[in-house]
Amino acid sequence: MKYLALFILLISVSTNASNSWENYLNLPTPQNASLVNSVTNSSQIESELDILEIQIIAGDLQAINLALRISEWLKQSAAVSERLSVIIGRSIRSFPKKYLIALNLSANSNQCLDINSNGLEYVDRIRAQMYETEQRLKAILSVNDTELTLIKNTCANKLKEHHSFLKSIIGN
């Protein structure tokens, strides 16, 4: 009987682990976001990102963390990676501190992931890209947390470099 109970518990735990993404989609709380330990690269994942995007726009730190983790897990999928980059990038202006905190906790913190990802709306609109870059830089520089100083400076420098590059394109 003990072994049967242990077996049922193990099945329950493994089922919960494999369904953590589905659990998050059904109830997108910060706690459920923190429990997601893998996502399969299914044909549905791109449309499922809408729920994650809504939570990021709402300022959920765990959702930003989750998006960064998913982008690491699904690097082979260009469409999903691009979508995640844009979603994460859009969080910077509204929640620069949360972006920096999430980035600081990620495996690729020194790369300032998605800092310059604007989305298709900005393609061929260099001045709009420059404006967005300026606004992200302003947001990043507004963070006054000594624990985030290193990542803040790294990201600010990347934004400045990108802004200079964009400026060189239009010749101003």
Domain assignment present for residue 49? The answer is: yes
Q: How many CB atoms lie within 10 A of CB 44?
A: 10
**pTM of the prediction?**
0.80
Q: How confident is the model at residue 17 (pLDDT cuts 50, 70, 90)?
A: very low
d(CA 115, CA 125): 17
Provide the pLDDT for residue 108.
Answer: 67
Residue type, 157: N
Domain assignment present for residue 129? The answer is: yes
Instruction: Copy the structure tokens of residue 88.
Output: 């994460």
Q: Domain containing 118: what range?
A: 17-170
d(CA 61, CA 117): 19
Give the pLDDT confidence of 72-107 residue by residue, as tens digits. Answer: 877 767 778 888 889 999 999 999 999 999 998 887
Domain assignment present for residue 7? The answer is: no
d(CA 141, CA 120): 26
- How many Å is the maximal CA-CA distance in the chain? 77
Is residue 95 within 8 A of residue 134, CB to CB? The reply is no
Provide the pLDDT for residue 163.
Answer: 95
CA-based R_g, the chain, Å:
19
Provide the pLDDT for residue 1.
Answer: 54
Domain assignment present for residue 139? The answer is: yes
Q: Residues 119-123: contacts with CB within 8 Å, 24+ apart?
A: 119/86, 119/89, 119/90
d(CA 98, CA 55): 13
Q: How confident is the model at residue 15 (pLDDT cuts 50, 70, 90)?
A: very low
Provide the pLDDT for residue 10.
Answer: 42
Residues sharing a CB contact under 8 Å with residue 162, sequence separation 6 or more, in sequence order? 115, 116, 133
Provide the pLDDT for residue 86.
Answer: 92
Q: Which residue has the higher pLDDT, 172 or 128?
A: 128
Q: What average pLDDT score do residues 131-154 get? A: 96
Structural domains in the chain (count): 1
Give the pLDDT confidence of 37-72 residue by residue, as tens digits. Answer: 888 766 678 788 999 999 999 999 999 999 988 888
Residues sharing a CB contact under 8 Å with residue 102, sequence separation 6 or more, in sequence order? 61, 64, 65, 68
Domain assignment present for residue 8? The answer is: no
